[in-house]
Amino acid sequence: FIASQCALGVDRFNMYSDMRKSENLRVIGMLNSSIAHDIKNLLNIVTSYLELMNLEEDINPEMQEYIDAIYSEVKRIHGLTLDILDFSRQSVSINIEKFKISDLFNEIRKHAGIMTRDTDIKVEVEVRDDLEMKVDRGKIFRVIFNLVSNAIDALQNKGTVILTAEKDSDFCVIKVRDTGKGISRENLGKLFQPFFTSGKAKGTGLGLAIVKMIVEAHCGTIEVDSVEGVYTEFTVRIPYDYESIKELHK
């Protein structure tokens, strides 16, 4: 009798957990339909004004720093809005662009520099193979930017983030490593679950779930390795020519 009641309790708990997850997904869907598009449009307007300000001649260097900082934060908010839209649709459309991985890394470096300006955090970037990428530039930017942002948050104002890229067969292998507090073995398996935040003070818990969704949509993989108190390292493997790999997967 006790065993059957325990089993019933477990079933009810699982049912409740599934209901909570469905409710969370429904709430995200409502957010998508009600305000996400409006936020995205407003941010596009703000970005346009910032770009117009950059066209002005003889901008005070200090003012330029402020403009760059605002632009960086707007880009983060814009990326979060796109993440919510992607997650609510549970689908990722791929728009192919050609670009050098070094160009993307330089953009990441610029934003990381603004984010770490008043800290003792050092961001190191190393492009071992400057591959010509044929993937969705905007979405891969969001993947790397999300991982670098998380790494910076984990350092709590002091430490090192190392971003590398190299070729491995038909894939570009991108690694983001930080010397932060690490992640417990218990939490490692939960990182890519929606709404799991690993104790972060800020964030929706959607970031890594969407990162995984984008990477897999590119026929890629993402893995994480960590030792508490020592480091955390994310490894992303994506084909540098998405169309050719996509044909093989058909």
Q: Which residues contact 45 (CB under 8 A, 6 or more apart)?
A: none
Q: pTM for this one? A: 0.74
CA–CA dist 210, 203 (Å, integer): 13
The pLDDT tens digits for 20-38 are: 555 665 665 555 545 666 7
Closest CA to 80 of 27, 23, 145, 34: 145
Non-local (6+) Cβ contacts of 52 within 8 A are: none
The pLDDT confidence band at residue 177, using thresholds 50, 70 and 90, is: very high
214: exposed, middle or buried (Cβ count in 10 Å: 0-12, 13-18, 19+): buried
The C-alpha atoms of residue 100 and residue 148 are separated, in whole angstroms, by 19
Average pLDDT value for residue range 83-89: 72
pLDDT per residue as tens digits for the range 155-173: 988 999 999 999 999 999 9
For residue 132, give the 3-state DSSP assignment.
Answer: strand
* Residue 59 · residue 101 · CB < 8 Å: no
